[in-house]
């Protein structure tokens, strides 16, 4: 197991991609802190699944959009598990709307959680990572941060900010032995993209994906685990697309 002896914190890990990432890291031997904001029962289920497979995990409550809470999440993870080597910034929300109809809080809330959570948790782990001169940060971004899509301006902007932050953090932190990369999923059938699938069950979107399938959360988790592990030891500042080829072609930016 390639992550034996490592301790990881995954934000927003009670469901969706975060849940899959927490389980995948544990399968590679990592001890995992499963962060959640409101889904305690779901987070406990993730912990139980990891433990039932012989791993070790704890659930850690906290809202990553507030820096003090993010620092508490990190501190609690270190206290309960005895250290920290990997941070996966996954927590995110969506407030889809056309720009004309978008309320100020529709973009501000998305930015606070999606990008704010990445900044807050990254800053919160730096003392630990810099002092041990070791640490790996993987940000779960999105192809929306590279392309445009109808009704996604706030979400896409938050992911574009994550992409830029990933590159800058990688440059600043490399001298401390800290790597920072991002995984950019395309369309994965999670709660975040449910609204995009309502029109026709996603058939219009599938027509615009060369591989003609949505990403399984486990496929995204596999890339995140790779970026968190030793096989990517010479990678930092990378934006790795996990999109079935959707970024290679010119789409219409909306379901057909």
Question: What residues act catalytically?
Answer: 155
> Are 83 and 118 a contacting pair, CB within 8 Å?
no
Is-contact 131 140, C-beta < 8 A? no
Q: Which residues in 125-248 belong to E strands, given as ranges? A: 135-140, 178-185, 239-242
What's the token pair of residue 57?
Answer: 């995990």
The alpha-carbon radius of gyration of the chain (Å, integer) is: 17
Cα–Cα distances in angstroms (integers) from residue 240 to residues 63, 165, 225, in the given order: 26, 14, 12
Place of tokens 């433990």: 51
> Is residue 32 within 8 Å of 57, Cβ to Cβ?
yes
Q: In 3D, which of 235, 83, 117 has the Cα closest to residue 174?
A: 235
**Which 3 state secondary structure label does DSSP give 136?**
strand
Give the integer Cα–Cα distance in Å for 84 and 74. 8
Q: What number of residues does the chain have?
A: 256
CA 92/CA 13 separation, integer angstroms? 10
């Amino acid at each position: 197991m390639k992550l034996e002896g490592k301790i990881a914190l995954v934000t927003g890990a009670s469901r969706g991609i975060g849940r899959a990432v927490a389980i995948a890291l544990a399968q590679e031997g990592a001890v995992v802190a499963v962060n959640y904001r409101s889904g305690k029962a779901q987070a406990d289920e993730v912990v139980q699944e990891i433990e039932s497979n012989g791993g070790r995990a704890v659930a850690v409550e906290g809202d990553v959009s507030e820096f003090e809470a993010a620092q508490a999440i990190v501190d609690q993870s270190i206290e309960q598990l005895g250290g920290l080597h990997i941070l996966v910034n996954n927590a995110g929300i969506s407030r889809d709307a056309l720009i004309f109809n978008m309320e100020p809080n529709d973009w501000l809330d998305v930015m606070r959680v999606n990008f704010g959570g990445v900044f807050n948790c990254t800053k919160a782990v730096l003392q630990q990572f810099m002092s041990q001169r070791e640490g790996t940060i993987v940000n779960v971004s999105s192809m929306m941060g590279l392309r445009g899509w109808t009704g996604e301006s706030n979400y896409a902007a938050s992911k574009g900010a994550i992409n830029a932050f990933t590159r800058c953090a990688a440059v600043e932190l490399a001298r401390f032995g800290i790597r920072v990369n991002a995984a950019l999923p395309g369309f994965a059938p999670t709660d975040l993209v449910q609204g995009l699938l309502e029109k026709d069950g996603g058939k219009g979107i599938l027509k615009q994906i060369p591989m003609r399938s949505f990403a399984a959360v486990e496929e995204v988790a596999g890339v995140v685990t790779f970026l968190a592990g030793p096989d990517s030891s010479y990678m930092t500042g990378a934006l790795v697309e996990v999109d079935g080829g959707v970024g290679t072609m010119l789409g219409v930016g909306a379901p057909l």
